[in-house]
Structure 1
């Protein structure tokens, strides 16, 4: 963790070196990293696969957007985003976390599809058109209206969720989570409240996604159900697996690696002469190839495998 603190000034200097287009990619990368940190904890310690993590990003985004449009101070609207997403996770987590394996994965996927359907038909959420004209985030009377501003907001958010995740893993609860990761039956026999801990991690991971969604709403200034497709949830899973489950550093590395590779291929796919479906096809190909490579060569993920190297 000390090395991570030393790296903060270096990362903080990165936005100053980027072009406007690269700054946008940097902000989106950071938002993905915030969500993937929570998903990595959920999959690595609670052993639960969520194929609907983007639904909590959407809940956070719409919470902030709707509150801001109804004249709530933007900072308070942003603070409400992780709270709403975490509470939603608790409500839906009580019944669905009784499921295991692929049943839970499909249940989380179904939740996202239901949420997107509701948002697409709800007049209060703007329907299929979505929410438009969202205000900029403002802090202490200072309006954040530039990509550079949001780059540093995202950096603060990534640092915050990383610190929370690190201290959670290294707390008494974290010891119970590590026991849960090695085996549910053994952890339960040792007195670990398996159900409560699993629900806690589910809620924390959702809150991280909600915070990312809240920042996203102010950054983009526009929200629609199409902003949170199922493919986005799959992308989060790929990032978590590639970097290494249960590792904060792995989540950050996985998010950075996948985002950069996809962005490079998207740039290639939009060159003159490329078919219109090329970006989607290349994105799916990247996810598939990365997962295959990780399973074959670094099944624990990149960061955990590097730590185990002699």
Structure 2
């Protein structure tokens, strides 16, 4: 019932939004796709990554360059970019996933810095720091997401991708490989003892999460029409991490909730930061402050995240209600009791 209601709200929401709000809605959906992949990687496989922004950038640049430089159809470019990002993640993951904990986090962060540096230096191909312009809109054959209802169409594309990602990820975590991932997140030694191929499992989920980020990055490039290294700052990877932590690591629905909550909070603060009289760097300062404060607050108060905590609270409330009902029935039904004097003699 909740899933059906959520799907209905997702379908109806674009009808009530302005063009500016539709832009936020599209970006929120694309970010959710990335965060779902990150939640799988961190919550189920137990691998910490600060480099999802790199795969988002790789997917965006790959899709844009294949279309702008080689003239491929945008939808074909998007498919190739998604697959290419997954393959690259597999190659990068071979050495990186030998690391653990904060070492892996720093390594993925360094990977994003390298990616951005390469993009900035390859001026003849990527446009360098100036950026890549002239990226066409997404199209499938003669059907192009252009014109008056462009943002409206992209909103449905983005959230169809969210729905597909939610469905695919939910099925994955319920499958046998998903149970292996949960064992891996708990203990690599225990997972090995249970017959889980630890190295292969980590590499597969790393590539899958990168593919989701690359796909979202490709749609993002076709939507905005212009990308540059500054479009994918380190702060973007931090934002993805905070979204996953707020919703709940290892909670597929929590990834969506965390994305919506953090994105709307950041948008509200950026509106305040760009108000008249505010310093030029106010939006960036507000963003860093929000990410830091929210992450610390979640880790201290709700380490499991919003959605798992809400589930725990609702379960506890349900148990209390059941217990209270049982006590009330016992108090209201003395006729069902047998007193000591009325018991039959043995």
Q: Offset at 1:184? A: 1.2
Using the TM superposition, give the Cα deviation of residue 3 of structure 1 relative to its aligned residue in structure 2, in angstroms. Answer: 2.8
Deviation string 1:69-90 (CA, Å, 9 cap, x unpaired) is: 1210111011112111111110
2:268 corresponds to which residue? 264
Does the CA-based 8 Å contact 1:133-1:222 persist in structure 2? yes
Q: Distance in 1 between matches of 2:6 and 2:217?
A: 25
The whole-number CA distance in structure 2 between the counterparts of 1:6 and 1:176 is 31
Q: Specify the alignment match of 2:114 in structure 1.
A: 114
Query: What aligned pairs does 1:230-245 form with structure 2 within 5 A after superposition?
Result: 230-245=234-249
The number of aligned residues is 309
Residue 205 (str. 1) matches residue 216 (str. 2): no
Contact 2:46-2:186 within 8 A present in 1 as well: no
Give the CA deviation at 1:140.
4.0
Shift of 1:161: 1.2
Q: CA deviation at 1:179?
A: 1.2
State TM-score, norm by structure 1.
0.97
For residues 300 and 57 of structure 2, the distance between their equivalents in structure 1, rounded to whole angstroms, comes to: 33
Partner of 2:19: 20
Give the conservation status (yes or no) of the 8 Å contact 2:73–2:140.
no
TM-score where L is the length of structure 2: 0.87
The 2-side partners of 1:58 and 1:125 are apart by: 12
2:217 and 2:308 map into 1 onto residues whose CA distance is 28
Deviation readout 1:9-58 (Å, 9 max, x if unpaired): 22111011111111111111111101000000100011111111110001
- Detail structure 1 runs of 4+ shifted over 4 Å in the superposition: none
Structure 1 CA distance for aligned equivalents of residues 165 and 277 of structure 2: 42
State the match for 2:52 in structure 1: 53
Partner of residue 336, structure 2: none
Deviates more, 1:157-166 or 1:85-94: 157-166
Deviation digits for residues 132-184 of structure 1 (CA, Å, limit 9, x no counterpart): 10111112412102111111110111111111111111111011111112211
**SS in structure 2 at match of 1:57:** helix
Q: Which moved more, 1:227-236 or 1:15-24?
A: 15-24
Instruction: Please give the secondary structure, in 1, of the residue aligned with 2:139.
Output: strand
State the match for 1:130 in structure 2. Answer: 131
Q: What is the rounded CA distance, in whole Å, between the counterparts of 2:212 and 2:152 in structure 1?
A: 22
Aligned match of 1:85: 85
1:169 maps to 2:173: yes
Question: Which residue, 289, 293, 298 being the options, matches 1:294?
Answer: 298
Gaps spanning 5+ residues in structure 2: where? 317-346
Partner in structure 2 of residue 40 of structure 1: 39
Considering only CA atoms, is the larger Rg found in Structure 1 or Structure 2? 2
Return 256-265 or 61-70, whichever deviates more.
61-70
- Deviation of residue 306 (structure 1)? 1.2
CA contact (8 A) 1:61 1:213 kept: yes
Which runs of structure 2 are paired with 1:133-148 in the superposition (5 Å)? 133-145=134-146, 146-148=150-152
- State the partner residue of 1:284: 288
In structure 2, the residue matched to 1:3 is: 2
Residue 6 (structure 1) shift: 3.8
Tell me, in whole angstroms, the C-alpha distance in 1 between the residues paired with 2:281 and 2:132.
27
Q: Spell out, residue by residue over 1:189-217, the C-alpha distance to the aligned partner (whole angstroms, 9 max, x if none).
A: 11111111111110010000001001001
Deviations 1:100-140 (A, max 9, x none): 11111010011000010000011212211221101111124
- Do the aligned partners of 1:50 and 1:108 also contact (CA within 8 Å) in 2? yes
Any conservation in 2 of the 1:29–1:256 contact (CA below 8 Å)?
A: yes
Aligned mates of 2:9, 2:281 — CA distance in 1: 38
CA–CA separation in structure 2 for the residues paired with 1:34 and 1:307: 22
SS of 1:223's equivalent? Answer: coil
